[in-house]
Homo-oligomer: A and B are copies of this chain.
Amino acid sequence: MHIPLDRQQDIPLYLQIEEALRRAILSGTFAAGDKLPSTRSLAGKLSVSRLTVENAYAELTAKGLLQQRRGSGAYVHHLQPLPEPQQPLSLAPFPLDRFTTVTSRLDGYPDIPLPEHIINFAAGVGSSKVFPLEEFRKILLSILSRHAEEAFSYGDYCGYYPLRDTLGRILTAQGIPTRAEQVLITNGSQHAISLIFQTLLQPGDTVIVEEPTYAEALGLLRMHQINIVSVASDRHGMCVELLPALIKQHRPKMIYTIPNFNNPTGRCMSEARRRRLLALAQQAGIVILEDDFVGDLRYNGKSLPSLRALAAPGSVIYVSTFSKMLLPSMRIGYLVADSEHYLRLSRLKHVDSFTSSNLIQRALDAFVTVGRYDKQLRRAGRVYRLHRDAMVAALQRHLPTGCRFEVPEGGLFIWLQLPDAVTTTALMPAAWQQGVTFARGECFHADEARGAQGLRLNFAANTPELIEEGIARLSRAILKVQSN
């Protein structure tokens, strides 16, 4: 048994040993009833005193993970497992199978990662190889060394003021005039969307979304019992000309849109449609929620003015995040809103979850302030552009006839339409067998059946080599389904 010990560390050796053994027991490396080495032999192997090992065993015994039998030794002892819950699961089970990302199961059991050999086009984020992990780690270390006390204080419900100020400046430079007082920091942009839905909508209200659209926004709307009305989109984004009839018929409270590099289609709404959408919404008194999750991740083409930049005050709430560009796990997003909306949203943020992590907010502000965000944006843009081009080339090379896709000018995703006879339901197991997976079109449609022939393919997260191989596999799977 090898236990790495760090003698420089602040944590006593016996606790390091205890931790290692505990994890080995919990992970199943040791089974119940297994005998651990004697304290003398383990102490010898690890070059520590016998007392150190005895202390570690005592801790484990106190936690109920070890049984020490006098004269016989120490045996792994699992706490009696609790009985399984007796209540039947009367709710409809969550459609886990629609999500092939499976970063997490939703029934509370631990993660089961994808098998190694599966090429994953289903992810919702960029490449972990591009994330500025090392730089962010260093900034965290520096804050923990210099400002730990402030970083551990509660802070402002609305968010760390310098970060809000920084965000205001960045957005202003991007053409969205923003003061810090209009920026509300949230626990990720999903949380921002959740707060906005909770604040502005009631069960039974109607929201218009473009089709297809972000799966988790649909999930949230369903959870809050909001009527979802979908409006078609084409390569220039939401078909705004269809809106007047829908507005008249459904009297929506809100229009939710992803105008830049839509999730899942990668499409951008044209400027003319943006202006028309704003005019229509303003006339009807409808709030627009602009989800700009990767708006600044553009690889070619001309950037378009954001809805918020074009709008009258109070008519557009803007949501964005650093998760896609920097580190998904930071869980810091933000929204930009005007006085009345802002006041209501900050009140709800306060009673919903108080503050967001001051430590991470400070690290983010330091990261952005010292000019690293721009650098990171350029770096990610260069890499992801290559990935996009590799996927486009692979799709053109391998796809059977009858498949359709558009080339996005930015973002993370390519949206693929299958030939008439092929559905994702048939394709998914065939693709899995070939060693590739994707996000199913169904989850991006309010009326799921309408997504039965769409796939969202993440090009950003994989290398060109894996993309080439993955698309070849996917194409073989499509052919197999077609030939059945």
Contact = CB atoms under 8 A, between A and B. Distances in A.
Interface in A324-383: 327-331, 338-340, 342-344, 346-348, 350-360, 366, 369-371
Interface string A167-207: 00100110001111111101110110010001000110000
Interface stretch (A84-92, A390-398, A417-425): A84-92
Contact of A104 (B10, B148, B156, B357): B156
A158 B104 contact: yes
A40 interface: no
A327 B133 contact: no
Contact of A223 (B64, B136, B348): B348
Given A144-B137, A152-B133, A329-B151, A107 B343 contact: yes
Contact of A111 (B161, B223, B314): B161
A1 interface: no
A353 B187 contact: yes
Determine how many copies of this chain the complex contains.
2
Contacts of A64: 169, 173
Contacts of A125: 154
Question: How many residues of A sit at the interface, in one of the four size bands?
Answer: 35 or more
A346 B342 CA distance: 28
B85 A339 contact: yes
A106 B157 contact: yes
Interface string A92-111: 01100000000111111111
Contact of A371 (B15, B89, B141): B15
Contacts of A108: 158, 180-184, 342-343, 346
A219 B351 CA distance: 6
A288 B26 CA distance: 32
A5 interface: no
Given A19-B366, A354-B190, A355-B331, A172 B85 contact: no
Contact of A133 (B134, B149, B343): B149
Given A63-B169, A331-B357, A347 B188 contact: no
Interface of A: 6, 9-11, 15, 18-19, 22-23, 26, 59, 63-64, 79, 81-82, 85-87, 89-91, 93-94, 103-111, 125, 128, 131, 133-142, 144, 146, 148-149, 151-158, 161-162, 165, 169, 172-173, 177-184, 186-188, 190-191, 194, 198, 202-203, 216, 219-220, 223-224, 313-314, 327-331, 338-340, 342-344, 346-348, 350-360, 366, 369-371
8 contacts: A15-B370, A87-B313, A87-B339, A91-B343, A111-B156, A140-B144, A141-B141, A190-B351
**A-B complex: 10 closest residue pairs judged by Cβ atoms:** A108-B181, A191-B353, A85-B339, A15-B370, A110-B161, A219-B351, A220-B351, A104-B156, A104-B157, A10-B138
